[in-house]
Structure 1
């Protein structure tokens, strides 16, 4: 598996503000690996909210098709975390996003990730085309 290739944090157009809980730590006293996926999901929600695309959720859905997380430093519970997020590719039925998770108190990068999201038709139970409004809004925001 290839390591996610990410630009510098300054090149991301959106940074989500998240928070971990003390209970997110495992018995080693570090952030449980499953929590990272939740942080990516929270960042996606904030990103689409910022782009005013949440209203489209009633008309289309997407599923996580693939993800790749490279863990760089142990995360901690009960602290602030920032997630830089960027949509790096728009296909006809999928899109790719890149993420950098870091602690703003120390600037230590906890992880870098990449995810492929697949546009999904629940009715057809298959991948479907991306809505034009969704594509246009992301193209404009990301300068694609």
Structure 2
């Protein structure tokens, strides 16, 4: 499964009164990782228009473990879960920094975001152009709609 791996730092301001990352701050971490995938990577492939306007239509988050403050970044895997004509879904896994007994990093949070491309000049939702769809499909687990 092709995944973009992002490393994001937890800021002191991300913490809540209980000493772990506030639930709402996960959205900011996922936004940072998502931006690396759909803004920076496509620009390197000549697809700068993909991020010229994108709206979040929906978020879904499953919190599995708490994440505490530390100076080391957390790992977030990002991939495309579904591509449609006028929307696409990005999925994430955020990993705990502390390894399990078998040495693997446990997943602390899973999430997905439904995004729609938006034409800023016309102030309306637009369709993905074929080149954008092709690039996004390259990040699907099996190269086709999941």
TM-score normalised by L of structure 1: 0.81
Is the CA contact 1:80–1:105 (under 8 Å) kept in the aligned structure 2?
no
Report the RMSD for the aligned CA atoms in angstroms.
2.0
Match of 1:97 in 2: 90
Match of 2:102 in 1: none
The offset of 1:75, in angstroms, is 1.2
Match of 1:136 in 2: 134
The offset of 1:83, in angstroms, is 0.9
Range with bigger deviation, 34-43 or 126-135: 126-135
Match of 1:86 in 2: 79
The offset of 1:46, in angstroms, is 1.4
Unpaired segments of 5 or more residues in structure 1? 1-10
Structure 2 CA distance, aligned partners of 1:128 and 1:108?
38
Match of 1:69 in 2: 61
Is the CA contact 1:80–1:103 (under 8 Å) kept in the aligned structure 2?
no
Aligned length, in residue pairs: 133
Match of 1:56 in 2: 49
TM-score normalised by L of structure 2: 0.80
The offset of 1:61, in angstroms, is 0.9
Structure 2 CA distance, aligned partners of 1:12 and 1:84?
10
* Residues 99-138 of structure 1 mapped to structure 2, 5 A cutoff: 99-106=92-99, 107-138=105-136
Structure 1 CA distance, aligned partners of 2:106 and 2:12?
18
The runs of at least 4 aligned residues of structure 1 exceeding 3 Å deviation read none
Q: SS at 2:65's partner residue?
A: coil
Structure 2 CA distance, aligned partners of 1:30 and 1:23?
10
